[in-house]
A and B are shown apart, each in its own frame.
Chain A
Amino acid sequence: MAEPAPDVLQHSEDRKFTLKSGKKRWRPQWSAGMALIPAMTITIVCFYGFIIWTFVISLTRSRLLPVYKFTGFEQYIRLFANERWWTAMQNLAIHGFLFIGGCVVFGYFLAILIDRGVKAEGMFRTLFMLPLSMSFIVTGVIWQWVMNPGLGLQEAVRALGWTGFEFNWIVRPDRSIYTLAIAGIWQQVGLCMALFLAGLRNIDPNIWKASRVDGIPVWRVYLHIITPMMRTVFFTVFILMSAIVMKAFDLVVALTGGGPGFSSDLPARFVVDHILNRQELGLGAAGAFVLLCTVIAVISPYIYFELKKERGGRGH
């Protein structure tokens, strides 16, 4: 080997270079990896680990304490024979539809009104955002008083002279679930408005100029041009609000206590009640697992569809 061929030399040079740069790249990756370990561990153990554990518990006879005597799907059979569980699941669907729908519609509407250049914009924004600073518990208590037929709105309006006035949804088993949506929307609409407003402010002003030149009425611009452009904001709002619906527990506890009867119960409350108060660990775990499956079944097609569309859109 007197003289290496130039391409070999080049190659070895190349290799050296890649090695070097590989090392350079490797170091920040290593520290980033280290930094991620705690978060990863917590996610894997507390999230996925406990999902598995919950499923395992749901296959046992556990009552007060976890015991590992497996009984197959007996807890699921008991769960599905439980009328209260089905009421809770039905309520979840009703509440989810009304709450998310209400937040999107009212939030978007308020954002448009503010975007039209209302006077004292800052004041309105703060006003609508204010309920968000309260916890669901406080929201629940406030609305419980407002809607109590003996001392709230109904009594106040009757005292003004309209003695036939009725607003007693909170004590009516067939209506109580709607009161949850009212209180929930009241609290969360500000956040939705803020998100939509941020989206509206990002719209290219030239679109408005162009539409004005073309003489398109304002409502049509919003409906047919702006709204489709806001797709990602709608997506964000939907995901955020869905999470709130699925977790809904404190609101129902404070507002109706699940009542009258169990007419306004929600699955999360069912699960907590059975695990903590009734010492029915197995049944509660089964409920939690079914709830998780429901969430995945409902949300994942939408996320998949949206993300796919976004990726496809970028490809153009």
Chain B
Amino acid sequence: MSVTSEQVETRVVETLASFGPDASQIRRTATFEELDIDSLDLVELAQVVEDEYGVVLKGEDMKELKTVGDAIDLIVERADS
């Protein structure tokens, strides 16, 4: 499936905002730590990504992610492969 980075970004921001942080704070450079996004939030994000794009992100994938941009890039890369 081919998805654009913009589409993924919109969905990721929407999902992360549902966990608490203000959408305006969720920029590509923002770290999950700054946003107070924890490991359970990332598990849920992975679930949304799997449902929407068929991209399976394992726990070890998520551990490597530090910023919102890291997550978007990984999802786009996996969706294109």
B is a partner of A:
no
